């Protein structure tokens, strides 16, 4: 509560004064202020004389703080620009996903102190296409947090503290969970099976002991620096189908794992490249 009070004081009292004070400069470089002012407001804003512009900025910010307090602190602490919200290394510390403006498509919330992702965090923002939560302290994600985001294509949870993965939405093309604490138990064998558009899968620097099911569409697979001890004919190829070719897969990293890949010569015959890894 203290944090949100601080945030409120900062965004609704301090920032408007700073913005008003620097309105002249903003006018000169035609820069958008980091707020969620609609385009029409801004056009009108540029056509008026300097004094009333400054007054208007102040009025807009103050009245927005009063009427739409729910959204504005996010767009003043962070930068909101046409569907994108940038909240990187926010100070004071951001420990939860901020309330997002409606129709946000791109969220960049890297290098904060977010600990948990709840189902309600993204429940109303079905427009999201990309979420980047790299470099937070996330150790818990409620299972439904991302699964309903049917437009979501890119998700990064890299550099967090995840032991297990939540359900992932089926349109993902890129998923990054490098540098977490993922265990095989926390990554269901079929975790990625339904992701038929997935092209990039990054699971490096975790504690996985087995390779999960890799969808046919995957082109780049990073599994380096895990604890994988073996691969089988069915990991990448199909033991019951010698004609099967997995042509899309063009980069597989398995270096930094205990597995000695030369022990499994029949496991890579369907691939056009050999995994990078230990052969001797």
Ligand X SMILES: *[C@@H]1O[C@H](CO)[C@@H](O)[C@H](O)[C@H]1NC(C)=O
Name the residues that contact ligand X, by CB under 6 A. Answer: 207, 209, 227, 229, 238, 240-241
Minimum distance, C-beta of residue 266 to ligand X, in the bound complex (Å): 15
Report, in Å, the least distance between residue 182 CB and ligand X. 11
Nearer to ligand X, 59 or 242 (CB): 242
- C-alpha 14: how far from its chain's center? 30
> Minimum Å distance from CB 164 to ligand X?
15
- CB nearer to ligand X: pick between 31 and 229: 229
CB of 258 to ligand X, least distance (A): 7
For residue 220, list its beta bridge partners: 200, 251
Q: Which two tokens stand for residue 30?
A: 């035609």
Task: Output phi, psi for 260, to 5 deg.
Answer: -100, 105
Cβ at position 240, least distance to ligand X in Å: 4
Q: Of 113 and 193, which has the nearer Cβ to ligand X?
A: 193
Strand partners, 85: 80, 107
Query: In the structure encoding, which two tokens stand for residue 182, read together?
Result: 């993922």
- The dihedral built from the CA positions of residue 71, 72, 73 and 78, taken in this order, carries a sign that is positive
Q: How far apart are CB 200 and ligand X at their closest, in Å?
A: 25
Which CB, 238 or 272, lies closer to ligand X? 238
* Residue 116 CB contacts under 8 Å (≥ 6 apart), including other chains: 96, 138, 139, 140, 141, 142
What 3-state class would DSSP assign to 54? helix
CA distance 120 to 131: 15
Q: From CA 228, how far away is CA 230, in angstroms rounded?
A: 6
**Eight-state DSSP code of residue 23:** H
Q: Which is nearer to ligand X, 145 or 228 (CB)?
A: 228
Structure tokens at 280: 């001797």
Q: Nearest approach, Cβ of 208 to ligand X (angstroms)?
A: 9
Pick 11 or 206: Cβ nearer ligand X: 206
Q: How far apart are CA 10 and CA 16, in angstroms?
A: 9
Backbone angles phi, psi at 180, to 5 degrees: -130, -160
Beta bridge pairs of residue 81 = 84
Residue with smaller CB distance to ligand X, 105 or 210: 210
């Amino acid at each position: 509560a203290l944090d949100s009070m601080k945030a409120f004081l900062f965004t609704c009292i301090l920032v408007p004064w700073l913005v008003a004070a620097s309105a002249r400069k903003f006018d000169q470089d035609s820069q958008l202020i980091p707020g969620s002012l609609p385009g029409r407001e801004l056009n009108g804003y540029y056509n008026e004389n300097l004094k009333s512009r400054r007054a208007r900025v102040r009025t807009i910010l103050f009245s927005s703080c009063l009427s739409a307090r729910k959204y504005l602190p996010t767009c003043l602490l962070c930068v909101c620009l046409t569907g994108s919200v940038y909240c990187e290394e926010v100070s004071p510390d951001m420990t939860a996903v901020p309330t997002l403006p409606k129709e946000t498509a791109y969220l960049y919330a890297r290098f904060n102190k977010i600990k948990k992702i709840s189902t309600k965090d993204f429940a109303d923002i079905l427009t999201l296409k990309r979420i980047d939560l790299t470099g937070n302290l996330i150790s818990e994600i409620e299972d439904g947090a991302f699964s309903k985001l049917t437009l979501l294509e890119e998700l990064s949870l890299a550099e967090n503290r995840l032991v297990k993965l939540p359900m992932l939405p089926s349109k993902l093309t890129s998923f990054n969970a490098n540098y977490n604490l993922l265990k095989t138990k926390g990554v269901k064998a079929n975790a990625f099976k339904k992701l038929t558009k997935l092209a990039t899968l990054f699971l490096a620097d975790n504690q996985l002991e087995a390779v999960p099911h890799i969808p046919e569409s995957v082109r780049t697979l990073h599994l380096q620096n895990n604890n994988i001890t073996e691969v089988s004919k069915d990991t990448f190829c199909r033991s019951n189908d010698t004609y099967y070719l997995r042509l899309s897969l063009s980069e597989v990293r398995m270096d930094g794992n205990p597995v000695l890949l030369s022990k499994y010569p029949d496991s890579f015959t369907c691939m056009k490249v050999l995994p990078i890894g230990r052969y001797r």
